[in-house]
Amino acid sequence: MTPEVFLFECAVAGIGMITLAVAIAFFRLAKGPSFADRVIALDMMTVAIVAFAAVYAVLTGDSAFIDVVIVLALVGFLSVVALARFAERRQIQISQDANPQEEHS
Amino acid sequence: MSQYIAGCLILLGGFFSVSAAIGLLRLPDALTRMHASTKVGTLASLCMLLACAFAFGDLDVFARCVIAVFFLLVTAPVAAHMIGRAALGIDGLAHLEKDHQLPQASATDTPQPLPHEGDARALPKEATPPRG
Q: What is the pLDDT of residues B99-120, one digit of tens each?
A: 555 555 455 555 555 555 555 4
Give the mean pLDDT of B39-53: 87
Most B CBs within 10 Å, among A63, A69, A89, A99, to test the B interface = A69
Instruction: Reply yes or no on whether the pLDDT at A20 is more than 90.
Output: yes
Structural domain of residue B93, as residue ranges? 2-102
pLDDT-based confidence at A105, cuts 50/70/90?
A: very low
Report the C-alpha gap between B19 and B38 in whole angstroms.
11
Number of domain units in chain A: 1
Number of domain units in chain B: 1
Q: Per the domain annotation, does B117 fall within a domain?
A: no
Q: Per the domain annotation, does B68 fall within a domain?
A: yes
Instruction: Reply yes or no on whether the pLDDT at A63 is more than 90.
Output: no
Of B41, B83, B116, the CB nearest to A36: B83
Q: Per the domain annotation, does A93 fall within a domain?
A: yes
Q: Any idea how long chain B is?
A: 132
Spell out the residues 6+ positions from residue A79 whose beta carbon is closer than 8 angstroms to its own.
Answer: A42, A46
Task: Using the Cα atoms of residue A33, residue A35, residue A37 and residue A41 in order, give the sign of their dihedral.
Answer: positive
Instruction: Reply yes or no on whether the pLDDT at B52 is more than 50.
Output: yes
Most A CBs within 10 Å, among B31, B40, B119, to test the A interface = B40
Give the mean pLDDT of B73-77: 89
Instruction: Reply yes or no on whether the pLDDT at B71 is more than 70.
Output: yes
Q: Per the domain annotation, does A104 fall within a domain?
A: no
Q: Any idea how long chain A is?
A: 105
Instruction: Reply yes or no on whether the pLDDT at B12 is more than 80.
Output: yes
Beta carbons of B17 and A9 less than 8 Å apart: no
Give the pLDDT confidence of A65-88 residue by residue, as tens digits. Answer: 899 999 999 999 999 999 888 888
Long-range CB pairs of A65-70, under 8 A, 24+ apart, other chains included: A66/B52, A66/B61, A66/B64, A66/B65, A66/B68, A67/B64, A69/B49, A69/B64, A69/B68, A70/B64, A70/B67, A70/B68, A70/B71
Determine the pLDDT at residue B116.
Answer: 55
Determine the pLDDT at residue A14.
Answer: 92
Give the pLDDT confidence of B82-93 residue by residue, as tens digits. Answer: 888 888 876 655
Instruction: Reply yes or no on whether the pLDDT at B20 is more than 70.
Output: yes
Q: Per the domain annotation, does A27 fall within a domain?
A: yes
CATH number of the domain that residue A20 is part of: 1.10.287
Which of the listed ranges A68-72, A93-97, B26-30, B55-59 does the model predict with the highest average pLDDT?
A68-72
Beta carbons of B48 and A54 less than 8 Å apart: yes
Asked if A57 has any chain B CB less than 8 Å from its own CB, the reply is yes
Q: Per the domain annotation, does A28 fall within a domain?
A: yes
User: Nearest CA of chain A to the CA of B62: how many Å?
Assistant: 10
Assembly ipTM? 0.83
Determine the pLDDT at residue B112.
Answer: 57
Contacts of B95 in chain A (CB under 8 A): none
Nearest CA in chain B to A1: B4
- The number of CA neighbours under 13 Å toward the Cβ of A80 is 33
Instruction: Reply yes or no on whether the pLDDT at B80 is more than 70.
Output: yes
Contacts of B85 in chain A (CB under 8 A): 84, 88
Structural domain of residue A71, as residue ranges? 3-99
Asked if A5 has any chain B CB less than 8 Å from its own CB, the reply is no
- Residue B129 parent element (H or E): none
Beta carbons of B110 and A81 less than 8 Å apart: no
Instruction: Reply yes or no on whether the pLDDT at A16 is more than 90.
Output: yes
Asked if B35 has any chain A CB less than 8 Å from its own CB, the reply is no
Asked if A74 has any chain B CB less than 8 Å from its own CB, the reply is yes
User: Nearest CA of chain A to the CA of B121: how many Å?
Assistant: 7
Q: Per the domain annotation, does A57 fall within a domain?
A: yes
Instruction: Reply yes or no on whether the pLDDT at A61 is more than 90.
Output: no
Report the C-alpha gap between B53 and A91 in whole angstroms.
43
Most B CBs within 10 Å, among A7, A26, A60, to test the B interface = A7
